[in-house]
Structure 1
Amino acid sequence: MFEITQSNEKELLMQVAEGNEFAFRRLFAIYHQRLGMHIFRITQSTELAEEVVQDVFLKIWMSRETLSRVDNFKAYLFVISKNHALNCLRKVVKEQLLLKKLEASNMVPFKTDSQDADQYYNLIDEAIDHLPPQQQKVYLMSRHNRLKYHEIADQMELSRETVKKYLQIATTSIKDYVHEHMDAIALILGIIQFFCFF
């Protein structure tokens, strides 16, 4: 693990602020391992910790001009990474709750008939077909090919944030499409059943 004096660190930050990529790589080498351990203690996930570290250093590089005003980089780094990690955890919890709601709401059709299950999966396929090309590709690479954000980002030459956004939008669009059409199917089935009794 690399160590650095405060004066050397200040010089390094100035170099990064000026766009020196070698200085940025050195800064990353000095802090990424410690930061990863710090984030792992918060998230209890190696994958999420790696993602947070990469996201944080990407943000630092994107706003590198501001580094010249940072007095205590370690404190600055640990605060922004902690905030980002907590935001990621909140997002994971929201996604898990959404998934549970979807699973709960989608249990009803399967109890009645396997034909309903087929209708449900057909609706998902239709919903995917209705997605814009980029969102569709990201969704399929994530859900069907089981690729990670960074793998999709590399293959599609997109940023990880763009991949995340596309996946969120695609998931919401598919959910809305399926619910809208399942409601319509349920209504039609209800009308048919109603008239069958008379």
Structure 2
Amino acid sequence: MIPHVDIDEKELLLQLRNGDALAFESLYLRYADKLSAQLFRLLKSWNEVEEALQQLFVKVWENRENIDPGRSFQAYLYKIASNIAVDYYRKLSKDKELSKSLLRQISLLYHPDNLTAQIQADEELMRTIDKLPPQRKAVFKLCKLEGKSYAEVSRILSISEATIGDHIAKANRFIYNNYDKSIFMLSLIYATSLLD
């Protein structure tokens, strides 16, 4: 496997353009979590995020020969993510009733009366994160909550980027399986009740 710290991004992009699967994997590990967070903010569904992330990296692989190593790869990825989100909502908007309902629900998420429910959901998420093993929790908080790169976390914790990727994947699965979604659902039910 490519040592992530020793090869700079420009070199990885050049290797990717030549069809190097290991360079592709390395770039995936660098950006998957940041993109997941961005996609979740746009799509509000982890199931949709997983599908969109896969779609995004398929596009990267299919268009690898056109990638310009001299330009920001992160900006390129975020542009693709944004386009995928726009396409997702465009498909939803074909059903006008669904579109109206979606817009009402999104506006209610920011309604002051819904703030307490959102705070409860956030607190439950933090309690779930606190149940992670200490090293995994440290990795998760540094990457997901503080937005640090795998390289930065690797230096801080003196562990490899591959180990960081493994911790993040396992933390995501644990949180998904152990987060008390009923609190989040209560906030949605409360928001929906405001429509009546």
Alignment TM class, shorter chain as reference:
0.3 to 0.5
Structure-1-length-normalised TM-score: 0.45
Higher helix share: 1
The structure that has the greater radius of gyration is 1
Structure-2-length-normalised TM-score: 0.45
Relative contact order, CA 8 A, sep 6+: which one is greater? 2
